[in-house]
Amino acid sequence: MIKFKNSEITPENIYKNRRNFIKKFGLTAGSIFLSQNLNFSANAAPKNEDLKLTEYRYITTYNNYYEFGTGKSDPVERSEKFKTTPWDIIIDGEVENPLKLSIEEINTMFPSEERIYKLRCVEGWSMVIPWLGFPLNKILNKVSPTSKAKFVKFVSILDPEQMIGQRFPILDWPYKEGLRIDEAMHDLTILVTGLYGKKLPNQNGSPLRLMVPWKYGFKSAKAIVNIKLVEKMPTSSWMKASPKEYGFYSNVNPTVDHPRWSQATERVIGEGIISPRIPTTMFNGYGDEVASLYAGMDLKKYF
């Protein structure tokens, strides 16, 4: 396991002190976030829960990133030399102004802000992470989607030379994910560039990953190289691998079990030797913001 020097990690006490300002940061209310100058979201509202941040060491050493292997420690152990520069992202498809941007241009054009989001994995574990990122809708607005743009497809890098997991047919590489256009344009949906005040580590999806906090973690594509607006619903990698287990929407829903396990509770990573299990909340706690996106839909059918 890679050991991090203290100088390479933002002190956690800084973040814990910040949280004294927002003791109950509103998982139901949604996007409680702090910008880097400590301005608070006008939509931030306190809630009954007070979930503490997951420690940096757990966030960066307990990962699902099959491009580097299927073990939880494989990403941190195998991604240290993964090259993320130069790196270009193409935004195209059903748009009026397609773009090709370097990661440096993206960082300049779209300054990151801190957003504290809970990550819920389909396997039944969760973390609370201080992400750095910006709303996906900012970059989508730049390319001006056409009326045919109904969905957004995300494609990760294909590089089996660097990513040992891609040498095996675990999934249909490169990794692909998708959102409906209204989901992609929602203010809670962000492109992530860092966490804990630092550059995004390789094992967490550097240099650019998606984060959709009301969906299971596998929806959040890592190491993105293409964002394509399309007319027809894209087939994601996990949908193709196991369509009965992984649906397109993948909203956190405690009433819809995975075929092989319950989703009613989740294990909190980093909470002692035996991590406690807590009840899973609908839409991961962000229902006040996103439930309207699915009005009238059968969420057991469209899982």
| Burial track 17-39 (b if 16+ CB lie within 10 A, e otherwise) | eebeebeebbbbbbbbbbeeeee
HSE-CB of 36 using CA atoms within 13 angstroms: 12
Is CATH 3.20.19.10 the classification given to domain 6-294? Answer: no
Q: What is the value of pTM for the model shown?
A: 0.86
The pLDDT of residue 36 is 31
Q: Amino acid identity of 252?
A: V
Q: Look at residues 225, 208, 191 and name the one whose alpha carbon lies nearest to residue 89.
A: 225
Distance of CA 139 to the CA centre of its chain: 16
- DSSP E strands in 20-137: the ranges are 33-34, 88-93, 99-102, 113-120, 125-135
The pLDDT of residue 15 is 52
The pLDDT of residue 16 is 54
| 265 C-beta neighbours (distance < 10 Å), count | 13
The CA-to-CA distance between both ends of the chain, in Å, stands at: 36
The pLDDT of residue 275 is 84
| Three-state DSSP state, 287 | helix
Q: Among all chains, which residue has been given the structure tokens 């998606």?
A: 210
Q: Look at residues 263, 183, 193, 184 and name the one whose alpha carbon lies nearest to residue 224.
A: 193
Q: How far apart are CA 200 and CA 10, in angstroms?
A: 12
Q: How far apart are CA 219 and CA 156, in angstroms?
A: 12
- pLDDT tens across the length of the chain (303 residues): 333 333 333 445 555 555 443 333 333 333 333 333 223 232 333 343 457 899 999 999 999 999 999 999 999 999 999 999 999 999 999 999 999 999 999 999 999 999 999 999 999 999 999 999 999 999 999 999 999 999 999 999 999 999 999 999 999 999 999 999 999 999 999 999 999 999 999 999 999 999 999 999 999 999 999 999 999 999 999 999 999 999 999 999 999 999 999 999 999 999 877 888 999 999 999 999 999 999 999 999 999
Residue 235 · residue 252 · CB < 8 Å? no
Q: How far apart are CA 233 and CA 255, in angstroms?
A: 25
| Three-state DSSP state, 139 | helix
| Three-state DSSP state, 291 | helix
The H-assigned helical ranges of the chain are 12-18, 56-59, 74-78, 103-109, 136-143, 181-185, 237-241, 287-290
Q: Among all chains, which residue has been given the structure tokens 């193409």?
A: 90
The pLDDT of residue 273 is 76
Q: Where are the domains of the chain?
A: 6-294
Q: How far apart are CA 139 and CA 264, in angstroms?
A: 35
- For the record, the structure tokens of 127 come out as 């973390």
- The set of residues, in sequence order, having a beta carbon less than 8 Å from that of 240 and lying 6+ positions away, is 171, 172
Q: How far apart are CA 130 and CA 194, in angstroms?
A: 9
